[in-house]
Amino acid sequence: MMTRRALLALLAPLLLASCGSGSDLRPLTVVGWGGSSQDAHRQAYWSAFSRTTGIPLREDSWRGGVGVIRTKVMGGDTSWDIVQVETEDLILGCEEGLFERLDWSALGGREAFIPTAVHDCGVGAMLWSYVIGYDGDRIKGAGPRNWADFWDVKRFPGKRGMRKTPKYSLEFALLADGVPPDQVYPTLRTPAGIDRAFRKLDEIKPNVVWWSSISQVPDLLGSGEVVMSVTSPGRLVVANRTEGRHFKLRWDGNIYAVDYWVILANSPRKQEAEQLLRFMTRPENQMRLARFIPTGLTNIEANRRVDPKLKRDTPSDPANMTNALELDADFWVEYGDQLTQRFNAWVAR
Amino acid sequence: MTRRWVSFALIAPLLAFLIVSFIVPVLLMLARAVTDRDLDRTWPASAAALRTWDGEGLPPDALARTVAREMLAAHRAGTLNRVANRLNYDLVGSRSLLYTTADRLAAGAPGETLADLARIDRRWARADIWTVMRHADGPLTSYYLLAALDRRIDTGGHILRVPREQAVFVDIFLRTFKIASLVALFCALLGYPVAYLLASLPRRIANPLLILVLLPFWTSALVRTAAWAVLLQTNGVVNDLLQYMGLVDAPVQLIYNRLGVYVAMTHVLLPFFILPLYGVMKGIDPTAMRAASSLGAPPLLAFLKVYLPQSLPGVAAGAVLVFTLAVGYYVTPALVGGGADQMISASIAFYTSQSLNWGMAAALSLLLLLPLLLMLFAGRTMVRTVPA
């Protein structure tokens, strides 16, 4: 009797442990970017999905970087099913076989989505941009109109907030230097073009506060640490709504990109993940997302039917897309290492 | 003897766990710094042919043909990315070169000779892509370690510096060790009196104070860092106070520079210095100090001759702990530092999670780990040589 009880006591933790790690016992797990973006997705999709299908959902959040997923897949960690990724992550992860190839016919066909949202391994989740943001309470009147004004520290004295990465910074420098949007990446693909971008950055460098997390931007602008900043519109729009701020956005020469949903190749719940993917990309559901966060939609019909007022602070409004530039993820996959190295050396000098 | 075996048996599960879950993965990761299997595993025939090629000028047609065949096969099998990314690390542009060439081969373009390849893209008629391939034929490589030291190897096998605008890692390493050393020093200057106070006060008062030291652990380092941004910004509390007291006329730049990094990191890491030192100070017999005074030593001399040497193991332990944690920091310098304050773990994180260049991440990690191990060893010897 005693020995059997001892044996049970020994085995119980093992049994529990094997249950805990048994991925077929955990609910379908969806991974977003946290913060207001994740809140919006929950309100627009996830609660309704669980309610209508009876499939329980577990949430997790991450800060991007396909290496995180590679580590999980290599290490046999199957805790995530469906993840929101950036374009470079999508390209690298798809090549490595980290993601499932999507069944596009089940999603309504490739032509139901804007072209940039369609990829063998991923479907566009949201369309977002980097734009110029400034505080209307500090810069009265006209304000900066474009990147040339952003560079003009005589007319607009004060510091500028920029993201501490070569990505976006080099593109904006060339736009400020008068390179037409469609020539930015061809120019950056030449050594002379890269030199030109860094020379333009030299001009503004003493006046830059480099931020590394987008969550810093509302504070930097709100406290007056910087007078204008590279920013994504979402947080400033939310701050205007909830904190009575008067942040303004300038869309001229914005860089836009798509974030994608992918299903991990080692997901033990692929069918449910596909079900969730279909749910999140249906037009009637995507239209709801725009209510909770200012974002461009990827489903063409959703874009047609959504209230035009909700498009105002998004890349889906044609009025915002003057001189706009689509992020060239292939360029950054190829040049990212070299330019990050050079940028880090430059920024420290 | 049996007792030793029993105690070994008791720690054996922990040891096995550590080996399987920590030591082996770390070694496997670090091995990537010196191994180079992307090309020779994906293109075995090309790798063999590259090894027999003398590397002079342009390759023979037979080698070009082998490469073209394996390129096409890898493209069809979906494994071309391994070679394409590996070559691209060394020669930017190789990735798109391989993909566009493979696409053209798949569309029926001939790839029987070097001239055929050059017709698809004239870069194939240049020596650099072939040299890079030859350097990547594995199984071992010096590429990553050299690159992590801002060096590269040329066609003739000479080690050269990379161009100035690409040279970054040596600077970041030196900066990382400098910041970590100074943070450890600041923690020592601020932490020693606190630990002394805690150790000498009666328990009734010391315990609540100790809780104050531990309190910051309940808040995430991220939140504490963000709080410093609020205090130190141009229109922040500290600047307002300085101006109110008339110490400065205009706001001082206290954050988004090195000063901000020192302040925030010292604050976040201070408890890691105080706690081990407090533990050591508690063990120092107070009668020794009284004995010194009764023998006529003035307080300062008694402290220097009797107390300080006995507390040094605690200082060393705290400093090593703070230094070790500090060299691995990257969130705090990223949030409160400026352009010149990035530390090496930010680069390691970049190569690990963004660009998937794990060879480079491993090489940088190895170069970070070696001085740390040396320092830990030196710290141990120092603690041992301190008279008990």
Angle (CA) B336 B339 B345, round 5° = 75
Substitution target from B256, B329, B348 for chain A, most A beta carbons within 10 A: B256
- Would A16 be classed as within a structural domain? no
For position B225, what pLDDT does the model report?
A: 87
How far off is chain A from B333, nearest CA to CA, in Å? 10
**A210 shares a domain with A154:** yes
- Nearest residue in chain A measured CA to CA from B340: A348
State yes or no: pLDDT of A2 exceeds 70. Answer: no
How far off is chain A from B227, nearest CA to CA, in Å? 11
Q: What percent of chain B has pLDDT over 70?
A: 98
Q: Does A213 touch chain B (CB under 8 A)?
A: yes
Q: What is the mean pLDDT of chain A?
A: 91
Interface of B with A in 54-83 (CB under 8 A): 78, 81
Distance CA B45, CA B130 (A): 15
Q: Does B171 touch chain A (CB under 8 A)?
A: yes
| CA atoms B232, B234, B236, B240: torsion sign | positive
Report whether the peptide linkage leading into residue B333 is cis, meaning its omega lies within 30 degrees of zero.
no
Tally of domains within chain A: 2
For position B382, what pLDDT does the model report?
A: 67
Residue B1: band (very low, low, confident or very high) from pLDDT cuts 50, 70, 90: low
Residue A44 DSSP one-character state: I
Interface of B with A in 289-318 (CB under 8 A): none
Structure tokens that stand for A101 in this block? 């190839």
Q: Does A202 touch chain B (CB under 8 A)?
A: no
Q: Name the pTM for this structure.
A: 0.91
Residue B381: band (very low, low, confident or very high) from pLDDT cuts 50, 70, 90: confident
**A237 shares a domain with A140:** yes
CB atoms within 10 A of CB B150: 21
Out of B96, B335, B351, closest to residue A213 by CB: B335
State yes or no: pLDDT of A3 exceeds 80. Answer: no
Q: Are A85 and A119 in contact (CB under 8 A)?
A: no
**A274 shares a domain with A249:** no
**A200 shares a domain with A121:** no
Strand positions, DSSP E, B229-386: none
Q: A141: alpha, beta or left, given left = phi > 0 and alpha = psi -120 to 50?
A: left
Contact list in A for residue B347 (CB cut-off 8 A) is 344
A28-32 and A57-61 beta bridge pairing: parallel
**Length of chain A, in residues:** 349
Radius of gyration, alpha carbons of chain B:
29
How far off is chain B from A93, nearest CA to CA, in Å? 9
Distance CA B122, CA B99 (A): 14
Residues contacting B205, CB < 8 A, separation 6+: none
**A108 shares a domain with A232:** no
Q: Are A30 and A59 in contact (CB under 8 A)?
A: yes
Contact B234 A346 (CB under 8 A): no
Residues contacting A299, CB < 8 A, separation 6+: A108, A112, A113, A281, A282, A283, A286
CATH number at residue A231: 3.40.190.10
Q: Are B190 and B270 in contact (CB under 8 A)?
A: yes
Residues contacting B218, CB < 8 A, separation 6+: none
Residues contacting B324, CB < 8 A, separation 6+: B372, B375, B376
**pLDDT digits 0-9 by tens, B100-158:** 999 999 999 999 999 999 999 999 999 999 999 999 998 999 999 999 999 998 877 89
CA end-to-end distance (rounded Å), chain A: 74
**A262 shares a domain with A252:** no
Angle (CA) A24 A27 A32, round 5° = 125
State yes or no: pLDDT of A6 exceeds 70. Answer: no
**pLDDT digits 0-9 by tens, B3-60:** 889 999 999 999 999 999 999 999 999 999 999 999 999 999 999 999 999 888 899 9
How far off is chain A from B313, nearest CA to CA, in Å? 37
**A229 shares a domain with A135:** yes
Contact A348 B171 (CB under 8 A): yes
- Would A206 be classed as within a structural domain? yes
Residue B377: band (very low, low, confident or very high) from pLDDT cuts 50, 70, 90: confident
Q: Are A315 and A129 in contact (CB under 8 A)?
A: yes
> Which residue has better confidence, A121 or B375?
A121
DSSP conformation letters of B19-33: IIIIIHHHHHHHHTT
Residue spans of the domains in chain B: they are 38-136, 169-385
Phi, psi of B327 (to 5 degrees): -65, -25
Q: What percent of chain B has pLDDT over 90?
A: 80
ipTM metric: 0.91
Determine the 3-state secondary structure of B55 from DSSP.
Answer: coil
**A327 shares a domain with A191:** yes
For position B378, what pLDDT does the model report?
A: 80
Q: Does B127 touch chain A (CB under 8 A)?
A: no
Which residue bears the tokens 């394996």? B70
DSSP conformation letters of A184-215: HHHHHTSHHHHHHHHHHHHHHGGGEEEESSGG
Contact A347 B340 (CB under 8 A): yes
- Would A2 be classed as within a structural domain? no
Q: Are A138 and A224 in contact (CB under 8 A)?
A: yes
Residue A242: band (very low, low, confident or very high) from pLDDT cuts 50, 70, 90: confident
CB atoms within 10 A of CB A310: 19
Quick one: which H or E segment has residue A325? strand A325-326
Residue B59 DSSP one-character state: P
**A146 shares a domain with A235:** yes
Q: Does A210 touch chain B (CB under 8 A)?
A: yes
Which residue bears the tokens 């480099």? A210
Contact list in B for residue A345 (CB cut-off 8 A) is 164-168, 171
For position B339, what pLDDT does the model report?
A: 87
State yes or no: pLDDT of A21 exceeds 70. Answer: no
State yes or no: pLDDT of A215 exceeds 80. Answer: yes
Q: Does A70 touch chain B (CB under 8 A)?
A: yes
Contact list in A for residue B342 (CB cut-off 8 A) is 164, 344, 347-348
Q: What residue type is B106 in one-letter code?
A: A
pLDDT (average), residues A188-198: 97
State yes or no: pLDDT of A14 exceeds 50. Answer: no
Of the candidate ranges A95-99, A285-289, B249-253, the one whose mean pLDDT is the lowest: B249-253
**Domain residue limits at A210:** 130-256+320-348
State yes or no: pLDDT of A15 exceeds 60. Answer: no
Radius of gyration, alpha carbons of chain A:
23
Strand partners, B140: B35
DSSP conformation letters of A130-151: EEEEEETTTS-TT---SHHHHH
State yes or no: pLDDT of B234 exceeds 70. Answer: yes
B169-385: CATH topology = MetI-like fold (1.10.3720)
Q: What residue type is A232 in one-letter code?
A: S
Phi, psi of B88 (to 5 degrees): -65, -30
Q: What residue type is A83 in one-letter code?
A: V
Contact B81 A70 (CB under 8 A): no
**pLDDT digits 0-9 by tens, B192-213:** 999 999 999 999 999 999 999 9
**A312 shares a domain with A329:** no
Residue B384: band (very low, low, confident or very high) from pLDDT cuts 50, 70, 90: low
